Chain A
Amino acid sequence: GEDVEQSLFLSVREGDSSVINCTYTDSSSTYLYWYKQEPGAGLQLLTYIFSNMDMKQDQRLTVLLNKKDKHLSLRIADTQTGDSAIYFCAESRGTSGSARQLTFGSGTQLTVLP
């Protein structure tokens, strides 16, 4: 299957940590990505992780990958109002053909409350 699933909504208080979760079904996923989309804008690549990694940290962002459970999470530390957006999890897989397409989750709307 090609499903990538995310919860639809998340609300956090400014200054708290946000954790956005994603599950995927295809064990051949090679790279997993997190994209951010603000209203009226395209997709902004936040970070990506190769499938042989467990964790990747980039400033306020931490990505955790559990290959056994096919679970990916994005943690945003010290969440700010500017982080309010839709966050998409995406995967690409294999080494040819379908590897060149991204399969996206439905997106998680993150709302940061003051």
Chain B
Amino acid sequence: KAGVTQTPRYLIKTRGQQVTLSCSPISGHRSVSWYQQTPGQGLQFLFEYFSETQRNKGNFPGRFSGRQFSNSRSEMNVSTLELGDSALYLCASNPSTGLGYGYTFGSGTRLTVV
């Protein structure tokens, strides 16, 4: 059973550009969440999608957006990149709305903004 796949693994972008990250959940998982991990702020929740609808959103500016497709794959987009957006972006999938299943994380996309 394939795990959560995130592409690309590494990205280098210039300040002011935009970037799109992709996440393919485990087959059959319908919930996809995104997290940002930085040394200073740790792991912070960005947003969660279920059946193509954003159900929950963290405290991030509007430059951070996402979407989910009918096959549950998800993308997140960051526009007008800032140096502080440099981080490891992690995607997690969950089989259902159940709280106890836990989340399976991908290996992340390491974004560096220069």
Measuring CB to CB, which residues of chain A are less than 8 angstroms from any residue of chain B? 30-31, 33, 35, 40-45, 48, 50, 88, 90, 92, 95, 97-107
Contacts and interface: CB of A to CB of B under 8 A. Distances in A.
Interface residues of B, number: 26
Contact of A50 (B4, B50, B100, B105): B100
Nearest to B44: A104
Contacts of A101: 33, 45, 48, 56, 58
16 contacts: A31-B99, A35-B105, A40-B107, A42-B4, A42-B105, A43-B92, A45-B104, A50-B100, A92-B99, A101-B45, A102-B35, A102-B45, A103-B45, A104-B42, A104-B43, A106-B42
B99 A43 contact: no
Contacts of B103: 45, 102
B56 A97 contact: yes
A90 B58 CA distance: 16
Nearest to B43: A104
Which of A90, A97, A101, A105: most chain B Cβ within 10 A? A101
A96 to B, nearest CB: 9
Contacts, number: 61
Secondary structure of the B contact surface, majority rule: strand
B106 interface: yes
Interface of B: 4, 6, 31, 33, 35, 42-43, 45, 48, 50, 55-56, 58, 90, 92, 94, 97, 99-100, 102-108
